[in-house]
Amino acid sequence: MRLTLEKAKTILDENLKKRGYKERTIAGRLYYLKNFEAFLLQEQKNDLRSIQEEDIYSFIAFMREAISVRTGKPLSGRTLKMVLASVKLLFNSLYTQNLILFNPARNVALKTNDNSREKVIFSIREIDTFLEGIDIYATRGLRDRAIFELLYSSGLRIGEASGLDLSDIDFGERMLLVRQGKFSKDRIVPVSLAASKFLELYTKGRKDRKKPLFQSGRNHRLGVAGIEKRFHKHLGNTGIEKKGLTVHSIRHSCATHLLEAGADIRYVQELLGHESIETTAIYTHMLNENLRRTYKSHHPRENEMFVEIDDKYLKRLNEFKEQLEKQKEVREKSRIGKKRWAEKKRKNVEKEVYCMLELNKGRM
């Protein structure tokens, strides 16, 4: 019996559900497999057990030539990575279920020049400017300040913030219960004093603790799209012009600023709800990048006192090396000449001493 893509997608769906993936994430993974389906149709491959590693690389080449229906341009590096990640998940599921003898996608890597997935964060000054720029006396201003203070305080994902109920926060202990985070895991996180104060002001007088913590104008739960919309509104009012900032940048900023201040990486892992510490370790790489940028911006040898290494500089450097080599050769010849002269002089002295001894013997 053939192992078709349709059957494999059903297996993948079940596997991801068991692993705690959210419905929205699973739908996205399955959606990206439509590209693999088009490739299999073109190559007339209808049994996934026949797929080899070279077929996966052929699929990558196929994707590089594809044109996006939405933009009319070649697919971005980010899209290519998402598609390959879905294919990898597919074959990993089949392999763990013993439906294929080996995983042809296991060692396949994708190299792109796309930097769209680079994490963009706020500096400490920028996050202060953003938060303090939210007018709490404006319509929904107090709610928005409470939302973004909490996101920065506790490193929440936007969906986690949206899903909070009033009963999930303990104002006395300044602790927050995050229900059904990524991989359907609950966790308890601390809340900063500033975030707690704004949350208390926002929820003052509310008695039904089973209601959503953050509500829309109609007292319904404020969704992810609503939070994103308010974020961009307030960001535009601050005058911060850094490109690539999103609501998720607040979470990245929280983690990075904690590590910069000396927080233990294990604590940051627990705060963010990362299943693996390798995921949290990405932020240490970001610290290295920030250090490198700071160094290049402030070290005198990286600024006006630094001479760029160009062809002219390299030519002078090579000429200098040649001069050193010539001087080395001259010194070596001089050393050998002096050694020979000293050896010759030693032999002459020995000869003279020998002659004198022989002469003295003749006189005795």
pLDDT of res. 305: 43
* pLDDT tens column, 184-214: 678 889 999 999 999 999 999 988 888 999 9
Please report where in the chains the tokens 């996006």 appear, as a residue. Answer: 68
Read off φ and ψ for residue 179, nearest 5 degrees.
-90, 140
Mean pLDDT by 10 residues, the chain (364 residues): 88 87 85 90 88 90 83 82 90 89 86 61 92 93 96 92 93 88 75 93 90 89 92 92 89 88 83 76 65 55 50 68 75 78 74 68 56
Question: Residue 265: CB partners within 8 Å, gap ≥ 6?
Answer: 259, 277, 280, 281, 284
Tokens of 126: 């920028």
Exposed/middle/buried for residue 32 (C-beta within 10 Å: 0-12, 13-18, 19+): middle
Mark 319-336 as b/e (b = at least 16 C-beta within 10 Å): eeeeeeeeeeeeeeeeee
Tens digits of residue pLDDT in 271-287? 888 777 667 777 766 66
pLDDT single digits (tens) 72-103? 788 888 888 888 989 999 999 898 888 888 89
Asked if CATH classification 3.30.2350.10 holds for the domain at 124-300, the reply, yes or no, is: no
**Where is 170: in which H helix or E strand?**
strand 169-170
Give me the active site residues, please. Answer: 157, 182, 248, 251, 274, 283
What average pLDDT does the chain have?
Answer: 82
What are the pLDDT digits (tens) for 322-342?
Answer: 777 777 777 778 778 777 877
End-to-end CA distance of the chain: 118
Say what the alpha-carbon torsion angle 145, 148, 154, 226 is, to the nearest 10 degrees.
120
3-state helix, strand, coil in the chain (%, to 5): 65, 5, 30
Residues 6+ apart with CB under 8 A from 226: 216
* Domain 5-96 CATH (choose: 1.10.150, 2.30.30, 3.30.70, 2.40.40): 1.10.150
